[in-house]
Chains A and B, each alone.
Chain A
Amino acid sequence: MCLAIPSRIVEIDGDMGTVDVDGVKREVSLLMIEEPQIGDYVIVHAGFAIKKIDELVAYETLQILRETLALVEKEDER
């Protein structure tokens, strides 16, 4: 089962860290991600952080999606 909601790193201790997801704290391994920082949002699978969420990409792609959808709507209205 994949955990869809990203978790926030709140503590780092070597290769291990503590993450918080909606108030629930868990210990995870940070072995598989590059340069983890406190405050990073990560995808966690079976006790391992497997990806840092790219904040910039997340923001930009959501904007692009909204703009694309709005554009398609406008084209249809013509």
Chain B
Amino acid sequence: MKHASEYRDKDLSQTLIRRILDMDIRPVRLMEVCGTHTVAIFRSGIRSVLPKNITLISGPGCPVCVTSQAEIDAFISLSNNPEVITVTFGDLMRVPGSFSSLQQEKAKGKDIRMVYSTFDALTMARENPGKQVVFLGVGFETTAPTVAAAVLAAHQTSLANFSVFCAHKLVPPALEALMKTDGVRIDGFLLPGHVSVIIGLDAYRPFVARHHIPCVVAGFEPADILQAVWLLGRQINSGEAPVVENAYPRAVTAEGNKKAREIMSRVFAPTDADWRGIGTIPLSGLQLQPPFDCYDARQRFELRLSNVPPPKGCACGQILTGLKIPPDCALYQKACTPMSPVGPCMVSSEGTCAAYYKYHVEPGF
């Protein structure tokens, strides 16, 4: 596998591990802000080879996990409309709302379908002219352009029975919010690989300048992640002004993917958004803007978001901000397991609790 196996090279990883172990570093907490990084770190066993002074913590990097309970409830309420075919990526299906999940609703006979691409939802709309096809837009800057592309295509072909429930979230405003959250201590960020493919290194520079915190964009193979940890350690030890470094240059550039960003900014405008565990973050979400707002499912179906509390006892909120780790949650491995999840961090394959559960991580690691 070209451009992947080179970064699974044993010698390269071992050398990087030695470099990290040789660093004389104060106790630091480094946060990864991408669910795929969380899983890659667990799967490769990187936590177990790092020195005790370097703690990796998982942040709000799983899009399903940060989707608010009110939004999940609204998705379920939408799926109860007999006119509607609700279309989603698979990871949302099992997330429990206040009373049900999309999977449970599907089992009851509601028309809820999973797709691989947003274009599949357009095909469904064309094939079902008597139905309203609503795509649930959940995801960060990597997914949002693909939803925007579908809206543009619907607009160009006057596809009237397609709409989007827009629940997209943006990463840089979440980093800002984390830095302002009481009790959160982070010494460096391991930035998401594919979000950064779209937004580029430049998108993080104002954040780094404001908060003086080291940031490194990482790829997903073991050597990519180890290199990012090494670079973060070097920045912390150097005493120089922190910068954004690129440990994934084969994919990430300073300016990002201009075409994708243009498509996104044509269709969407930033808006305030509710994040599970963090609350409302200014301008951290996206809404459809004119002339594309006619594809907004929330307007079309007059959906209201109600103010609902998270499940009782669930610590997903604190886990998403790094304030707690899964074993700190009273429900973890007891009332909350992957077979019977209470919170979204146990549902999603990228959720921190699911990763802890799957890889049997004991407290202290």
Give me the interface of A with B, judged by CB distance under 8 Å.
Answer: 1-2, 4-6, 8, 21-22, 26, 28-29, 31-34, 41, 43, 45-48, 50-51, 53-54, 57-58, 61-62, 65-66, 69, 72-73, 76
Which residues of the other chain, B, contact A76 by a CB distance below 8 angstroms?
22
B24 interface residue (CB < 8 Å to A): no
A6 touching B260, Cβ below 8 Å: no
Q: A32-B149, A46-B116, A51-B257 are in contact. Are A58 and B142 (CB under 8 A)?
A: no
> Is the Cβ of A4 less than 8 Å from the Cβ of B19?
no
Residues of B within 8 A of A58 (CB): 3, 249-250
Tell me the complex Cα distance, A57–B12, Å: 18
Report B-chain residues with C-beta under 8 Å of the C-beta of A57: 249-250
In whole angstroms, how far apart are the Cα atoms of A6 and B120 in the complex?
Answer: 22
Query: Which residue of chain A is the closest to B115 with respect to CB atoms?
Result: A47
Contact digits for B1-30, partner A, Cβ 8 Å, 1 yes 0 no: 111101000001001101100100000000
Residues A61 and B193 in contact, CB atoms below 8 Å apart? no
Any A CB within 8 A of the CB of B194: yes
How far apart sit A40 and B346, CA to CA, in the bound complex (Å)? 37
Q: List 18 A-B contacts (CB under 8 A).
A: A2-B34, A2-B36, A4-B36, A4-B219, A4-B221, A6-B3, A21-B1, A32-B259, A32-B263, A33-B257, A41-B3, A45-B142, A46-B116, A47-B119, A47-B146, A48-B149, A58-B249, A65-B12
Assembled-state Cα–Cα distance A65/B248 (Å): 12
Contact with A along B270-294 (1 / 0, CB 8 A): 0000000000000000000000000
B251 at the interface (CB under 8 A from A): yes
Interface check B58, CB cutoff 8 A:
no
Contacts of A73 in B (CB 8 A): 15, 18
Known A43-B251, A58-B250; contact A34-B194, beta-carbon cutoff 8 A: no
Would you call B3 and A50 a contact (CB within 8 A)? no
Verify B16–A50 contact, CB threshold 8 A.
no
Query: A41 vs B5: C-alpha distance in the bound complex, in angstroms?
Result: 14
* Chain B residues positioned under 8 Å from A62 (CB to CB): 6
Residues of B within 8 A of A (CB): 1-4, 6, 12, 15-16, 18-19, 22, 34-36, 40, 89, 91, 116-120, 139, 142-143, 145-146, 149, 192-194, 197-198, 219-221, 227, 249-251, 257, 259-260, 263, 349-350
For the complex, give the distance between the alpha carbons of A13 and B12 in Å. Answer: 39
Taking the nearest CB of chain A, how far is it from the CB of B192, in angstroms? 8
Is there contact, CB below 8 Å, between A6 and B4? yes
Q: How far is the CB of A42 from chain B (nearest CB, A)?
A: 10
Chain A residues with CB below 8 A from B1, complex form: 5, 21-22
4 nearest A-B residue pairs (beta carbon)? A47-B117, A4-B220, A58-B250, A2-B36
Q: Which of A22, A47, A51 contacts B197 (CB 8 A)?
A: A51
- Please give the distance in Å from A70's CB to the nearest CB on chain B: 8
**A46 nearest in chain B by CB position:** B146
B288 to chain A, nearest CB (A): 18
B194: contacting residue among A5, A43, A54, A72, CB under 8 A: A43
Assuming the A-B contacts A34-B259, A73-B15, A76-B22, are A29 and B249 also in contact, with contact meaning beta carbons closer than 8 angstroms in the complex? no
**Docked complex Cα distance between A6 and B257 (Å):** 16
8 Å CB contact of B2 from A2, A41, A54, A69: A41
Q: How far is the CA of A33 from the CA of B120 in the complex (A)?
A: 20
With known contacts A1-B36, A54-B250, A45–B257 Cβ distance under 8 A:
no
The chain A residue with its CB closest to the CB of B34 is: A2
CA separation between A47 and B119, bound complex, in Å?
A: 8
In the bound complex, residues from chain A placing their C-beta under 8 Å from that of B16 are 69
Whether A33 touches B194, Cβ cut-off 8 Å, given contacts A1-B36, A2-B220, is: no
Min Cβ gap B152→A in Å is: 9
B193 touches A48 (CB 8 A): no
B251 touches A53 (CB 8 A): yes
Q: A45 touching B146 by the CB < 8 A rule?
A: yes
